[in-house]
Amino acid sequence: MTSINPQIDHYMNKNKNRARLLVSCPDQPGIVSTISTLLFNHQANIVESSQYTTDPSDGRFFLRIVFESEHLQENEEQIRSSIKEVAERFDMKWTLSFLYQLKKTAIFASKDITCLRELLYQWESGDLVTDIALVISNHETGRDIVESFGIPFYHIPANKDIRKEVEAKQLKLLEEHQVDLIVLARYMQILTPDFVAAYPSKIINIHHSFLPAFIGANPHKRAYERGVKLIGATSHYVTDDLDEGPIIEQDLIRVDHRNHVEDLKKKGRLIERSVLARGVKWDLEDRVLVHENKTIVFD
């Protein structure tokens, strides 16, 4: 099943002749000029461009380009081939995304479906341009709302004792649905290194604290005990190290001595859902590059 709503269908038709190119390579003269010439030779026009270097003399260069061509779909393979040649010359890592090819997203959820709801609503409004291919949960809580959007829902009970069997089922579903991005929308299970390795920098988690503060479980309880005046949320890519992957987006909200643990949780939910949605949106729009456990996020 393909989950595409009218707003996203309109977006795809409007941008059917557009593509995005992400580049990461050692900084050196001629990178932008060479890529611009390449696109010009394919009758493409650059409509957006952002770049960053860690050090102009001996750093790493990052580039995001959105370009448009009337004959884009016909010339897709030729453009890829040309970029591959340039990439070899400049020792580039690169990705090329065509906007007429919708990325497929899987959402993992548990009992708290606050973030799941937000993702579904933003998808319905056309703010998250993706095909939500499926939702997997270790609880039945979200089934009704997910299926009301016409999206497949899979209930797979999970705990640490059956983690390998659970992940085998999950990976099979992800492969069947040809998923590009996995979003952990308050999915309260730890993924194994093998699972993470199958989707490097393609699993986004929401952690209910302003990392690196209060890593792991019960951050609101620990924040209350510490008497913090601000609480936060962090969306990040998942790595083998718990809650220590590259940070995509963060936000804060003010609290005070009157707020108990449940108050902190309630306030935290307000920013968790928006921080996760922004992180997912930016990934889907090819705005994020990972470098040394950090991210470059182009606005």
Tens of pLDDT, residues 23-35: 999 999 999 999 9
Mean pLDDT, rounded, for 209-235: 94
Contacts of 43 (CB under 8 A, 6+ apart): 69, 70, 71, 75
Handedness of CA 288, 192, 117, 231 (dihedral sign): negative
Question: For residue range 92-143, what is the model confidence (pLDDT) as tens digits?
Answer: 999 999 999 999 999 999 999 999 999 999 999 999 999 999 999 999 999 9
pTM: 0.95
Q: Is the pLDDT score of 238 beyond 50?
A: yes
Question: For residue range 33-86, what is the model confidence (pLDDT) as tens digits?
Answer: 999 999 999 999 999 999 999 998 889 999 999 999 999 999 999 999 999 999
Cα–Cα distance, 94 to 38 (Å, whole number): 14
What pLDDT sits at residue 192?
96
Show which residues are catalytic: 243
Confidence of residue 1 (pLDDT cuts 50, 70, 90): very low
Of 1-10, 56-65, 195-204, the least confident: 1-10
Q: Which of 253, 241, 274 is nearest to 210 (CA)?
A: 253
Length of the chain equals: 299
Mean pLDDT, rounded, for 236-263: 96
Domains annotated for the chain, with CATH where assigned, are 17-98 (3.30.70.260), 104-297 (3.40.50.170)
Name residue, tokens 């309109």.
Answer: 10
Cα–Cα distance, 217 to 260 (Å, whole number): 17
Cα–Cα distance, 180 to 200 (Å, whole number): 11
